[in-house]
Structure 1
Amino acid sequence: MKPHVIMHMVTSIDGRIVTTHWPKDFAIGALYEDIHQQLKGDAWLVGPVSMAEFAVGEAKPVVSNETFARETWKAPHAHSGPYAIALDRHGKLHLNIDRANGDPLVLVVPESVSDNYLAELRRDGISYLFAGASELHLPTAMNKLAQEFGIGRLLLEGGGGMNGAFLDAGLIDEITLLMMPFADGTRGAPALFERNEGTPVVLNLESVVQLERGVLHLRYKVT
């Protein structure tokens, strides 16, 4: 069992996803958040780079003599969602908070992370689960999020590499895309999907809605 995974992203017409240099008068953040709320996810998931933007203050590592079992730990306050989830393959996220955008944090880590790092997460009130020995196994992560946190509907809001990994694993059920009416064209800029060469994945277009100023909201089902 896994959640219904909806990839929710914003792009230029040429598929670029870094928004920092895009025109500021399009209120991209507000548009994106409005659709995010309409999708009514039980959780949203990003990578370590995006989640690090929520960190408060300097890193405060913990030195612990305790050895923790490699099993899911749920923070006392994290009884219900929506949850803010991050994948952290190396155990390097130092957040010093227990919520992101008001939502309880859950980190997905491999069993190889240190006990000191797990002690830090517990100190900060951050729930965690394990998905893989030294590398993250996405299907395991999805199954545990559904079974142990009750997540039935998950919004994937990652970078191109993460989106590509979810696509290759067959984990994306639906794509909702805000396409902005401008071309980026920046050489080497991150794209919506970044994956090794393979067979293109066919999508079924479900709807197209034109928003203000020529912004398109596209919805696809993944076949």
Structure 2
Amino acid sequence: MNGAKRPYVVCHMVPSLDGRIVTTGWKLPPSVLGEYERTAQTFNADAWMIGRISMEPYAGKARVPSRQVPHPIPRTDFIARRDAESYAIALDPSGKLTWKSGAIDEEHVITVLTEQVPDDYLAFLQSKGVSYVFGGKTELNLKRVLEKLRKEFGIRKLLLEGGGKINGSFLAADLIDELSVLVAPIADGAIGTPSLFDAKEGKGPARHLKLVSFEKRKGDLLWLRYKLKR
């Protein structure tokens, strides 16, 4: 582990040869998804994290009711469960996900919010048994979020499977310990679509990596593992 007060973070993704990550239109065989899941399982992670848009199909759709007693809800973390074998974590700063329950296939749900979300939404999450932690007033402090996940839920290893902006934000904050990519045998070439890391416009935060291993997998996938040099 990294020895810090946060989980060890592995960014695990399937990019094209040119680093694109929007798989729509690639027409990859089902075996690719199978290889992705199999390689992910080798990390024995305690949790996985994605963004709001990617989480929407898992969350489902429910109605957020207005409360009958509109007393203020304090902006303190709500821990519905601490003993889950695995956790599904959503970065949802504005509180848009309408969860049907507090679990995804036995994995307990944790959502990461900012303090600007309305009280009705917090009451809704509590009623569904969804744990939530605050990452800041209006913007997420990712380091603070990770420290809370370690302290409150005992998460020691986390798979980061976000979009380009989320991955880029973690990279910019130097919060990625390991990079695991299954390079798909596709040259995308789509200008303007998300890439593996999209930290900011212009020059990004260059990070040096050390190759740990490489392996050919089914479907002409190439599995590359790197650790971040520090």
User: After superposition, where does 1:179-218 map in structure 2 within 5 Å?
Assistant: 179-196=183-200, 197-218=203-224
In structure 2, distance between residues paired with 1:109 and 1:98: 15
Q: CA distance change for structure 1 residues 200 and 116 in 2, over 3 Å: closer, same or farther?
A: same
TM-score (norm 1): 0.94
Q: Secondary structure at the match of 1:24?
A: coil
Contact 2:164 2:198 in 1 (8 A): yes
Which residues in structure 2 correspond to 1:157-168 (within 5 Å)?
157-168=161-172
**Structure 1: gaps (5+ residues):** none
Partner SS state of residue 108, structure 2: strand
Matched, 1:17 2:21: yes
Query: What SS does the corresponding residue of 2:9 show, helix, strand or coil?
Result: strand
Match for residue 66 of structure 2? 63
Tell me how far apart the structure 2 counterparts of residues 185 and 73 of structure 1 sit (CA, whole Å): 44
Q: 1:133 aligns with which of 129, 132, 137?
A: 137
Aligned equivalents of 2:106, 2:32: Cα separation in 1: 21
**After TM superposition, which residue ranges in structure 1, 4 or more long, deviate above 4 angstroms?**
none
Deviating more after overlay: 97-106 vs 123-132: 97-106
Q: 1:12 & 1:151 partners in 2: Cα distance?
A: 30
SS in 1 for 2:190: coil
1:139–1:171 CA contact under 8 A, matched in 2: yes
Counterparts in 2 of 1:101 and 1:31: CA distance versus 1, 3 Å? farther
Asked if structure 2 preserves the Cα contact closer than 8 Å seen for 1:97 and 1:125, the reply is yes
Q: How does 1:163-174 map to 2 (within 5 A)?
A: 163-174=167-178
Within-5 A mapping of 1:33-112: 33-57=37-61, 59-64=62-67, 65-75=70-80, 77-112=81-116
Q: Which shifted more, 37-46 or 179-188?
A: 179-188
Q: CA RMSD in A?
A: 1.4
Q: Percent identity?
A: 42
Cα deviations by residue, 1:55-82 (Å, 9 ceiling, x for unpaired)? 324x40121213222212112x552231
CA contact (8 A) 1:78 1:127 kept: no
Q: TM-score, normalised by structure 2?
A: 0.91
Q: State the distance in 2 between where 1:127 and 1:170 align.
A: 26
Aligned residues: 221
Amino acid at match of 2:65: V
Match of 2:36 in 1: 32
Task: Indicate if the aligned counterparts of 1:62 and 1:120 stay in contact, CA closer than 8 A.
Answer: yes
TM-fit CA distance, 1:143? 0.4
